[in-house]
């Protein structure tokens, strides 16, 4: 039995799917199986998946899909189907570097030696940003987006800015069991998972990129470079302001949902931190700023924090 389940949610990903799958079977560690659930694609994704499943029996398991679930729901279904000791999240359009599994698992094992396998653990890594043709954009996603994954792994930071990119993540069985069903109103599945790992376990950071993170027009999320010219070009645009406010509301809803589900299991300090974050949406700008400074609700980089203050 494989001790790693790679979960692959797909939707209209036929253009890049073969490249991803080949990169998985080129891994130095082959002790895994792939659980894939297609979310009612209208392109040739399903055909490609079944072809690869036939040529790799017992290595690619197609999870039945009778209805559209969306990205978060699709990931949630796959997490429920996974039974291995470790679960790795996977995006349909990336390329895994050959030692991704080996390196991520090594850090996971090291943390488990300190805390034991019953301790919930999340390990994530940096990414090499590329364009749709795999031409290099930046050798470090964290540098490119001005994100500090070490300082950003605390509860107060994760509430306001997630620093975990799901497609690099490995979860141990204890963390998967702690998650249960993912709520549909979280910001994104990796944001929710990182909050659970932070409050009840440990987040491990591997500083080297382990995937080629493809950027293209259909991406759900992107590797935006937060430079001053980027901010100045965007800040006056109505669409930018609306997106910022919409994302802030979603983060508030996520925190409220987190309190409802895990409130009785949180420490007093954790509960107060999440409650104060929820209250940011109900106070005026001056009180909001004071509360952000008190609790350390800050994002990576001065420019991002200016956005939080201005809007």
Tell me the domains of the chain and their CATH numbers. 4-214 (3.90.550.10), 228-310 (no CATH)
CA Rg value for the chain: 19
> Strand runs (DSSP E) across the chain, as ranges?
4-10, 32-38, 60-62, 86-89, 95-96, 121-130, 136-138, 170-172, 202-214
Which has the closest alpha carbon to 89: 180, 198, 4, 182?
Answer: 4
Report CA-CA distances (Å) from 310 to 79, 103, 236, 276, 278: 39, 41, 12, 20, 19
Which has the closest alpha carbon to 296: 158, 120, 113, 123?
Answer: 158
Query: 197, 120 in Cβ contact below 8 A?
Result: yes
Q: How far apart are the first and last CA of the chain?
A: 52
Query: 157, 167 in Cβ contact below 8 A?
Result: no
pLDDT for the residue numbered 247? 86
Q: Is 95 helix (H, G, I), strand (E, B) or coil?
A: strand
Q: Is 265 helix (H, G, I), strand (E, B) or coil?
A: helix
Output the pTM of the full model: 0.92
* Cα 236 from Cα 241, distance rounded (Å): 8
* Cα 83 from Cα 92, distance rounded (Å): 21
pLDDT for the residue numbered 277? 96
Which pair of structure tokens corresponds to residue 165? 């990119």
pLDDT for the residue numbered 113? 97
146 by Cβ neighbours in 10 Å (0-12 / 13-18 / 19+) ranks as middle
* Cα 164 from Cα 190, distance rounded (Å): 6
Report CA-CA distances (Å) from 186 to 9, 164, 252, 255: 17, 14, 9, 8
Report CA-CA distances (Å) from 120 to 61, 83, 193: 26, 15, 11
Q: How many helices (H) and strands (E) does the chain have?
A: 13, 9
Which pair of structure tokens corresponds to residue 183? 């709520």
Which has the closest alpha carbon to 226: 216, 234, 215?
Answer: 234
Report CA-CA distances (Å) from 202 to 121, 231, 269: 5, 33, 17
pLDDT 10s digit of each residue in the chain, 311 long? 569 999 999 999 999 999 999 999 999 999 999 999 999 999 999 999 999 999 999 999 999 999 999 999 999 999 999 999 999 999 999 999 999 999 999 999 999 999 999 999 999 999 999 999 999 999 999 999 999 999 999 999 999 999 999 999 999 999 999 999 999 889 999 999 999 999 999 999 999 999 999 997 665 555 555 555 655 556 556 676 787 888 889 999 999 999 999 999 999 999 999 999 999 989 998 899 999 999 999 887 666 666 666 65
Which pair of structure tokens corresponds to residue 260? 């409802």
> Strand runs (DSSP E) across 133-283, as ranges?
136-138, 170-172, 202-214
Phi, psi of 235 (to 5 degrees): -65, -30
pLDDT for the residue numbered 242? 80
């Amino acid at each position: 039995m494989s001790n790693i389940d790679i979960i692959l949610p797909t939707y209209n990903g036929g253009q890049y799917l073969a490249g991803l799958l080949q990169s998985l079977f080129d891994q130095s560690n082959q002790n895994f199986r792939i659980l894939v659930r297609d979310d009612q694609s209208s392109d040739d994704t399903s055909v490609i998946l079944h072809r690869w499943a036939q040529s790799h029996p017992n290595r690619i398991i197609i999870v039945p899909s009778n209805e559209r679930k969306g990205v978060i729901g699709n990931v949630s279904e796959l997490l429920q189907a996974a039974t291995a000791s470790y679960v790795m999240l996977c995006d349909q359009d990336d390329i895994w570097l050959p030692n991704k599994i080996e390196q991520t698992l090594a850090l996971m094992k090291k943390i488990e030696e300190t805390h034991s396998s019953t301790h919930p653990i999340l390990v994530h890594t940096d990414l090499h940003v590329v364009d749709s043709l795999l031409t290099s954009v930046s050798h470090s996603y964290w540098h490119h987006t001005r994100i500090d994954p070490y300082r950003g792994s605390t509860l107060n930071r994760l509430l306001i800015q997630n620093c975990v990119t799901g497609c690099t993540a490995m979860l141990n069985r204890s963390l998967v069991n702690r998650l249960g069903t993912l709520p549909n109103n979280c910001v994104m599945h990796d944001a929710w998972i990182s909050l659970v790992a932070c409050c009840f376990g440990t987040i491990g950071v591997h500083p080297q990129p382990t995937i080629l993170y493809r950027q293209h027009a259909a991406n759900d999320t992107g590797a935006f470079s937060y430079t001053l010219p980027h901010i100045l070009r965007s800040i006056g645009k109505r669409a930018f302001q609306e997106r910022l406010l919409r994302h802030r509301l979603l983060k508030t809803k996520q925190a409220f949902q987190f309190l409802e589900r895990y409130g009785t299991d949180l420490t007093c300090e954790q509960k107060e931190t999440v409650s104060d974050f929820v209250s940011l949406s109900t106070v005026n700008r001056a009180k909001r700023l004071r509360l952000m400074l008190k609790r350390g609700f800050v994002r990576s980089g001065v420019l991002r924090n200016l956005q939080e203050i201005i809007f």
